[in-house]
Amino acid sequence: MSVLAPLAGGALIGTGAALALAVDGRIAGVSGVLGRLVFGGDGRGFRGAFLLGLIAMGVLGALAAPAAIGRAHVSLPLVAVAGALVGWGTRVGNGCTSGHGVCGIGRFSGRSLVAVMVFMATGGITVAVARAIGVGS
């Protein structure tokens, strides 16, 4: 597999996060954007447009290259539980992977660096356990 597409995607994400911070003074962490849109906060227009753009690009990507996304290997209830756990984790960790990984590390935040190391270790352990018990095989 070519590394050009993932590199281009990463560059676009980084550019978008940098522009959000430079132009509007906002951190482009998805959980914070969603939380402040739903539960109130400043910049509702920015937050709504940001989330609408994420959804629209996901839909366009799925339509343009459905094989790149693939089909689900787990049940919808399991996805819902996983989503709830991720949401809880973003509240406990005061941010999500995009907020800490892209924006926090980009701002040289030590707390974000630790958070990303925990995310990566937890992800690796989760994949190892899932494979060991046969989930997604």
Tell me the average pLDDT across 78-102.
Answer: 84
Identify the pLDDT of residue 52: 93
Locate all alpha helices (DSSP H) within the chain, ordered by sequence: 4-24, 30-39, 44-64, 66-69, 76-92, 97, 105-106, 110-133
Q: Which of 31-35, 39-43, 57-61, 132-136 has the highest mean pLDDT?
A: 57-61
Residue 56's pLDDT band (cuts 50, 70, 90): very high
Distance, in Å, from the CA atom of 25 to the CA atom of 35, rounded to the nearest integer, reads: 17
Is the pTM higher than 0.85? no
Alpha-carbon distance values, 77 to 52, 74, 80, 113 (Å): 25, 9, 5, 32
* Between 111 and 42, the higher pLDDT residue: 111
**61 near 68, Cβ under 8 Å?**
yes
Please report the pLDDT score of residue 9 as a whole number.
85
Q: What is the pLDDT of residue 136?
A: 66
Lowest average pLDDT, out of 46-50, 55-59, 94-98, 110-114, goes to 94-98
C-alpha to C-alpha distance for 32 and 35, rounded to whole angstroms: 5
* Predicted confidence (pLDDT) per residue in 12-37, tens digit: 888 988 888 888 888 888 888 888 88
CB-neighbour burial class of residue 43 (10 A; exposed 0-12, middle 13-18, buried 19+): middle
What was the pLDDT predicted at 93? 80
Of 29, 33, 9, whose CA–CA distance to 106 is shortest?
29
**Taking all residues of the chain, what is their mean pLDDT, rounded to a whole number?**
86
Averaged pLDDT for residues 32-55:
85
